Each structure stands twice: as C-alpha cells, then as structure tokens.
C-alpha cells in the first residue's frame, strides 16, 4: 500500500512540476490558450477561472476548486463529462438548464437587467437571440454572456441559438439586421449577413449541393456570432397548402424533405477532421416540428387556439414522420443524428392509442412512446415556445397549452416532463419547474424525481459540450465583422437565390428580355388587413421594384404606351387566418372562416359540413366554415395584373409572383405572357433572370391548385392530392414542373423526385 501511495504521489508531483508548454494570448475581455494536440481554450480572467497544468496540458478549472474534475477534462467523451456535471448540480441549476429563453434583442454589447436575472437567478443557459445590431455587437454581446456564465459556480457556458436568420423575404431578413434596402442588395459586395431564398425556395432548387453549401456558410456565420444551436430546419411535410408556415418547409414531398433534412443537418453539425464529427465549427440542429405540423385542420395554424388540431382524414400520419426518422435521424456522417427536436403546438388528433388529445409537447405517446422508444431518439426534446403559458382567446397568440388549458403552471410543466421532454421553450423563470419537481416527488418518489431531471440535464449538457463551449465559448468580434456577410458567403447565397427562381410560363419566348428595352411597372395597392399575428395593418401603395434598380437593367418609363414590356409584381393571396374576429363584444365569439388561396371573393361551398376535430372547452363545437365568404387583403393584385394586360395590348406582360404558399393561378395567369415564381429572393436575382443573365432552373416544390374546390376536397395529411392548374400553353403546374429557355425541364432532379 505504501508503495502504491508513493507512486501516486510521485506521479502527482511530476505532473504538477511539468513546465507550461502552451501559448496564451490576451484578447482584451478574454484570453485564449493554444497548444499542439490540445483544443483551444478561452477564458475570462474576470470570471475567476484559472488554468490547471496536468501533465503539461492545460485545463480550465471551471468550478475553481484546484482539481481537474471529469467534466473539465476535454480528453473524456461528452457523455461522461455531462454525467459527472449533472450529478453535481442542484435541482435549481438543473431546472435552469431545462429552460429556453424567449427571443432576446441584441442592441449593444451590454446585458440587460432581465438577461442578468434569468442567467443568474434562474440559472438559464439556453438563450434565443433575435435581432442583432451588427456582427461586432452580436459577437461582443455573446462574449459578455459567456463571461457572466463562466463566473457562476460551475462555469456552464451559454448555448446561444437562433431561428433562421439568413433568408431573403423581399423585405428584411428574418430576425436579423435591418440595415439594407428592402428587396435588393449588392450581390457582388458584402452584406450584414449572407442572404438565401426561403426554405421552400431552397427546396425549389432540388439541389443537395446548394443545401450543403447553405449549411456550411450559415453555420460559419452563426459560430462567428457566438450562436451554437439552430432552431431549424423545419422539416414538416407541407401536405396542407393553406398552412401559413408552408414557406418555412422543404416542400410537400416526404422524399425531398428527407434528403434536404439530411444534407442540412450534416452540414450544420459537422466539424471537418473531427474524430466525432463535433467541434468548434459545429452548430446543433433542433429539427422541427415533430411529428409534423403541416396537417392543421382547414389550414389553420396552431400558434392560435383556432388551429390547435392536426387532422388525418387520409390516415397518413406515418408519412409525415419520414423527414425525421429517415432523414434528420439518419445522417450519413459521424454526428449520426440531429441533436435536438422540437414538437409542434398541435394536438395530433386521435392518434394516441389511449385517446388522449393534448398538444404534442404534452403527449407521452408522441414523445416517449413514439419518438424515443420506437424511433430511438436520444437527444434533446424542447417544446415549442410558450406551451406552458396561459392563453386568452382562441384567436390570440399568447400561451399555447393545447389540451392543458385549465392546468396550473406547475401541472403543465409536470405533464411536459412526464411526456419525456427535456426543455421548455420561451420561458424565463424556473419557479414552476421546481414546483413540478415536487409534484413528481409526491407522485413517483424522490429518487425517481432526481433521476428524471438529471437525465434531461445530461442530454442538455452533451449538446453544449460537443460544440466545444466548455473549452472556449468566446468569439472574436473583429472576426465576426470579417466573416459574417463576406463577399464569398454573399455570392453563395445569391447563387442559391438564382437557382430557386421558377419559370412557369414563357409564352412566345417573352423571356429573356434582351437589351435596354423600355419597362413599365404599375403602382401596387395593398388593402388593409392583418399580419401573421392578427395585428391590423393599414393600406399602402408601393413600387415593388425600385426605379433605381430597374434602371440598371432597362429604361424605365411612366406609362404603358411608352413601354416595350410591363413588369408586374404581386404576392400570393393573404390575410386569411381561418377565423372572423368579432369587431365588438356584443358580436360574441366570432366564427370560423375559410382560408382562401385565390384573390377574389371566395365562398366555401365545398367545405366540410362538420369539422373533424372539436374542442369541448370552446363555445363553437362545430368548426366548419361552410358557406362563409372571404376576400384577400391583396385582391387588388389581381385587378392590377388584369388592368396591365389591357393597357399593354399585345406587348409582353412579365409577371412575378412572390409565393409563401400555393395559390390558385387562374385569376392572373391568362393576363401574363411570362410567369416567374419567387420563393423569397431579392429583386436583383429576378432581374438577372428576366434580362437573361441567368437561365431559370428552379422547379415547383408544390402543386398549384386548379381551383378552391380541389383545395377543400384534398386531405390535410396527404401530399399531391389536388387537381393542378393547367395554363394557356397546356402546361400542368404540378410538383417538379419548371421551364428554362429551352422549354420544360427534364433532368436528373425531375427523374429522381418524379411522383
């Protein structure tokens, strides 16, 4: 025994006396340590963290106890390190890990009082980041968050995340900088961030090389900003054409969704050269929305009580799982599977064998029995935002606790944890979680409670460890300025925009428009309506293409008589949320209304007599909207197209339709000689196609319906079940249809995804 103790002591002394063999660099607010064969370490001297010398190797002493704990040892696997740390944490600290903050606005480099509170008092370590003032500010703010977290007892770094922020909407990017002109930017210069077509536009390329490049570029920009989890991709099979989140999907094809999910997650999560696939270049992917949110009854969305039910009249629940179980959960590379999953708000109506109808995040069947037990998912499950909050009215987006509306705050959280979920999206306080823990103790015992909560802590910590945050959570703000929106990345995004544009009609070879011809653009009038969140907006007028931009390509004139051709830009019909809100209290609860995909007035003659799902807590039992009439807020788009056709006579009318979901083309197609579809691209890209600088190559990622009758008669859960529109040239506007200058596109893409 004495000999063994002597050997151990000798080894310890030798290690302690091993000279330092690394380089330390001061970056102002943080320092980095570099040594060959060692991951780069980063720490804030102000945090109190010091560096341990163990056998000549540097390690961060995150809990400042002078000893190398297993969770601090970068030589160990993420699972072993997570298990060690989880066992050390208090329930208060674990409950903090199990919270995902609501969206934070980054206006400068300082933390707000609210942020200091939830990071400190509530132990929150997962932060959703929305608008960022600049790349420099975003990176510097991320460093301030990490320094604050590093000073806490165990030094657990923050896992900062983002919703998709690199897409071009025709207006400003989603949840990102707002410094660039609407609808246009310099494709040959730098930008606040690289800009890509919306998700449905990415699908329109049918090109996995584009998807992979997107993942590589965007993940690099995220890491430069200190963002390590993407709340994406959204891989719901878009089988219901009226769903307002159609634009965020990768089509109605389960096969195309599956393939894109694989490429997307593989590119985001992989650090090249890493033995495990994970590392400093990795970004966790939180795929959504399990088990698919694209089957909302009548196309209504589950952000509101009016859309809480996903229905399956085609008995096609299983097909919606394909993008997950055969895509995101079966990656070809070393990371093997998307690291996290978000269930949707919806109640998957009548799918649970026991007949329980609760939101997916509350459902033991949907999460534990299906996702975990049947399909073997081992990663983090995080609820969609706000499902444990209280709601006010079916047509207001406040809380979304579908099926648990009358439960207390603690009871809602207990139900979530019982379902097998690890994390609550969009909350700050862990008080109700601590109450839920006590309820678990009362129901299942103290040992079970600790075991269950510690299990979620391990899963959550694994995702933080795998992306290297425990070693170095800091980023260089100057590097963020250089990387985010650099010329190379902007060019890649612009290339994807060009490839996503779909040409559906080119009668008489109206496109391309060669030479500096004279172009007329009519003034577009948009009537008053409601935003996605049912907030009223006033009517306005606009020229979708600015005269300055148009003049770079053509000579701009003010009248149809002067013009050689007209360029008309419209949006798909919008303003329909499936409910007529009462104007006055005496009007009662209002009533359900159709979601229309046509411009002119639509009366729901072919709707169901009885809704498939009903809510016993709601005063309206039958949610049918049969016989009710709805008109689009942008009905004038239709009249503008028709009026321009009359004004131009036999001269070409080029029509651009900005599409966020399918529409009925019958009201506008006959008035156009050429039709281009934009799934969220800048005007420069459209003009490059119109002028012939780029040949269109995109394909329709969805069917375009012949009429509203076929929309009403299709099944919410079944793709490809509509009668498709046939244009004046005899072309059927079906999935994977598109034209180039030579005619109908027929290539490897159409062969592979032909249905």
pLDDT tens digits for range 677-707: 999 999 999 999 999 999 999 999 999 999 9
The predicted-structure confidence for 618-671, as pLDDT tens digits, reads as follows 888 899 999 999 999 999 999 999 999 999 999 999 999 999 999 999 999 999
In b/e form, how buried is each residue of 266-305, taking b as 16+ CB within 10 angstroms? bbbbbbeebeebbbebbbbbbbbbbbbbbbbbbbbbbbbb
pTM: 0.95
Output the CA–CA distances (angstroms, integers) from residue 301 to 219, 295, 399, 683, in the order listed. 29, 9, 14, 29
Please give the Cα distance from 440 to 454 (Å, whole number).
Answer: 13
Neighbour tally for 421: CB within 10 Å: 30
Q: Would you state the structure tokens that stand for residue 21, as one six-digit string?
A: 């063999």
Please give the Cα distance from 697 to 210 (Å, whole number).
Answer: 13
Please give the Cα distance from 511 to 217 (Å, whole number).
Answer: 32
* CB-CB contact of 293 with 346 (8 Å): yes
Q: Would you state the structure tokens that stand for residue 160, as one six-digit string?
A: 């900062």
Output the CA–CA distances (angstroms, integers) from residue 442 to 410, 436, 447, in the order listed. 13, 10, 11
Check residue 396 and give its pLDDT. 82
The pLDDT of 722-745, averaged and rounded, is 98
Beta strand 126-132 pairing with 104-106: parallel
* CB-CB contact of 175 with 181 (8 Å): no
- Is the peptide bond between 207 and the residue preceding it cis, with omega within 30 degrees of 0? no
Neighbour tally for 489: CB within 10 Å: 24
What does the mean pLDDT of the chain come to?
A: 93
Kindly give, in sequence order, each residue whose CB lies less than 8 Å from that of residue 7, ignoring residues fewer than 6 positions away: none
- Identify the band that residue 392 occupies on the pLDDT scale cut at 50, 70 and 90: confident
Q: Which of 8-17, 212-221, 332-341 has the lowest mean pLDDT?
A: 8-17
Kindly give, in sequence order, each residue whose CB lies less than 8 Å from that of residue 425, ignoring residues fewer than 6 positions away: 100, 128, 342, 382, 383, 384, 385, 386, 387
Q: Whose CA is closest to 131, among 225, 244, 232?
A: 225
**pLDDT at residue 583 is higher than 80:** no
The predicted-structure confidence for 312-327, as pLDDT tens digits, reads as follows 999 999 999 999 999 9
* CB-CB contact of 350 with 280 (8 Å): no
Check residue 169 and give its pLDDT. 57
The pLDDT of 579-608, averaged and rounded, is 90
Check residue 18 and give its pLDDT. 66
Which residues lie across from 359 on neighbouring strands?
A: 347
**Which letter does DSSP use for residue 303 in this model?**
T
The predicted-structure confidence for 113-170, as pLDDT tens digits, reads as follows 999 999 999 999 999 999 999 999 999 999 999 999 999 999 999 999 999 999 885 3
Beta strand 565-571 pairing with 653-658: parallel
Cα R_g (the chain), whole angstroms: 27
Check residue 530 and give its pLDDT. 75
Measured in degrees and rounded to the nearest 5, phi and psi for residue 602 equal -130, 125
**pLDDT at residue 5 is higher than 50:** no
**pLDDT at residue 342 is higher than 70:** yes
Q: Whose CA is closest to 572, among 657, 650, 489?
A: 657
Q: Would you state the structure tokens that stand for residue 313, as one six-digit string?
A: 């009249």
Question: Domains plus CATH for the chain?
Answer: 2-68 (no CATH), 78-483 (3.20.20.300), 502-574+633-680+694-753 (3.40.50.1700)
**Collapsing DSSP states into helix, strand and coil, what is residue 556?**
strand
The pLDDT of 260-289, averaged and rounded, is 98
Q: Whose CA is closest to 89, among 113, 116, 115, 69?
A: 69
Q: What is the greatest pairwise CA distance in the chain?
A: 104
**pLDDT at residue 406 is higher than 70:** yes
**pLDDT at residue 14 is higher than 70:** no
**pLDDT at residue 732 is higher than 60:** yes
- Identify the band that residue 2 occupies on the pLDDT scale cut at 50, 70 and 90: very low
- Residue count (the chain): 755
Check residue 473 and give its pLDDT. 98
* CB-CB contact of 48 with 42 (8 Å): no
Check residue 4 and give its pLDDT. 41
* CB-CB contact of 360 with 309 (8 Å): no
- Identify the band that residue 527 occupies on the pLDDT scale cut at 50, 70 and 90: confident
């Amino acid at each position: 025994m004495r000999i063994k103790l002597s050997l151990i002591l000798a080894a310890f002394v030798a290690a302690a006396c091993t000279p330092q063999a690394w380089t330390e660099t001061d970056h102002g607010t943080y320092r980095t340590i570099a040594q060959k064969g060692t991951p780069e370490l980063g720490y804030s001297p102000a945090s109190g963290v010091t560096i341990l010398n163990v056998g000549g190797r540097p390690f961060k002493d995150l809990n400042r106890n002078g000893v190398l704990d297993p969770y601090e040892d970068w030589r160990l696997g993420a699972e072993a390190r997570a298990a060690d740390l989880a066992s050390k944490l208090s329930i208060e600290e674990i409950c903090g890990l199990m919270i995902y903050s609501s969206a934070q606005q980054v206006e400068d480099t300082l933390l707000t009082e609210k942020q200091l509170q939830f990071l400190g008092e509530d132990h929150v370590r997962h932060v959703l980041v929305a608008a960022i003032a600049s790349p420099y500010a975003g990176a510097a703010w991320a460093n301030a968050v990490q320094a604050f977290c590093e000073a806490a007892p165990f030094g657990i770094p923050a896992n900062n995340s983002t919703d998709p922020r690199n897409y071009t909407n025709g207006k400003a990017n989603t949840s990102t900088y707002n410094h660039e002109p609407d609808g246009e930017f310099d494709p040959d210069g730098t930008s606040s961030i690289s800009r890509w077509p919306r998700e449905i536009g990415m699908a329109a390329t049918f090109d996995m090389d584009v998807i992979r490049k997107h993942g590589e570029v965007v993940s690099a920009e995220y890491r430069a900003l200190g963002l390590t989890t993407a709340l994406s991709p959204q891989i719901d099979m878009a089988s219901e054409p009226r769903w307002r989140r159609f634009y965020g999907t990768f089509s109605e094809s389960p096969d195309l969704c599956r393939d894109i999910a694989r490429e997307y997650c593989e590119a985001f999560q992989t650090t090249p050269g890493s033995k495990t696939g994970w590392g400093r270049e990795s970004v966790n992917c939180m795929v959504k929305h399990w088990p698919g949110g694209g089957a909302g009854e009548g196309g209504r969305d589950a952000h509101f009580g009016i859309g809480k039910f996903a229905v399956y009249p085609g008995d096609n629940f299983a097909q919606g799982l394909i993008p997950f179980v055969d895509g995101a959960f079966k990656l070809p590379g070393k990371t093997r599977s998307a690291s996290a999953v978000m269930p949707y708000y919806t109640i998957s109506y009548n799918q649970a064998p026991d007949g329980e109808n609760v939101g997916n995040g509350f459902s033991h069947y949907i999460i534990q029995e299906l996702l975990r037990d049947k399909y073997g998912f081992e990663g983090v499950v995080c609820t969609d935002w706000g499902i444990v909050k209280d709601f006010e009215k079916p047509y207001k987006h406040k809380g979304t606790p579908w099926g648990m509306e009358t439960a207390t705050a603690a009871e809602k959280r207990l139900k979530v944890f019982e379902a097998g979920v690890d994390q609550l999206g969009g909350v700050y306080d862990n008080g109700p979680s601590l109450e839920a823990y006590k309820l678990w103790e009362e129901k299942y015992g103290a040992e079970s409670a600790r075991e269950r909560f510690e299990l979620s802590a391990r899963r959550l910590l694994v995702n933080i460890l795998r992306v290297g945050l425990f070693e170095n959570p800091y980023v260089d703000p100057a590097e963020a300025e250089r990387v985010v929106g650099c010329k190379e990345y902007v060019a890649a995004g612009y290339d994807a925009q060009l490839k996503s544009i779909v040409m559906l009609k080119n009668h008489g070879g109206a496109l391309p428009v060669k030479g500096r011809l004279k172009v007329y653009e009519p003034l577009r009038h948009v009537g008053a309506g409601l935003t996605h969140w049912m907030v009223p907006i006033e009517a306005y007028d606009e020229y979708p293409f600015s005269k300055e931009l148009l003049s770079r390509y053509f000579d701009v004139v003010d009248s149809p008589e002067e013009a050689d051709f007209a360029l008309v830009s419209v949006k798909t019909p919008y303003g329909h949320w499936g409910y007529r809100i009462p104007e006055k209290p005496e009007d009662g609860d209002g009533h359900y209304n159709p979601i229309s995909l046509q411009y002119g007035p639509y009366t729901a003659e072919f709707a169901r007599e009885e809704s498939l799902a009903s809510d016993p807590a709601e005063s309206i039992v039958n949610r049918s909207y049969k016989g009710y009439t709805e008109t689009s807020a942008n009905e004038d788009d239709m009249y503008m197209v028709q009026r321009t056709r009359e004004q131009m006579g036999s001269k070409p009318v080029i029509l651009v339709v900005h599409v966020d979901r399918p529409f009925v083309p019958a009201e506008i197609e006959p008035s156009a000689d050429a039709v281009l579809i934009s799934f969220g691209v800048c005007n420069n890209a459209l003009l490059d196609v119109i002028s012939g600088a780029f040949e269109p190559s995109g394909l329709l990622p969805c069917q375009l319906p012949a009429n509203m009758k076929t929309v009403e008669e299709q099944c919410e859960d079944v793709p490809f079940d509509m009668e498709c529109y046939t244009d004046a040239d005899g072309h059927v506007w079906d999935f994977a249809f598109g034209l180039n200058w030579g005619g109908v596109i027929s290539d490897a893409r159409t062969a592979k995804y032909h249905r």
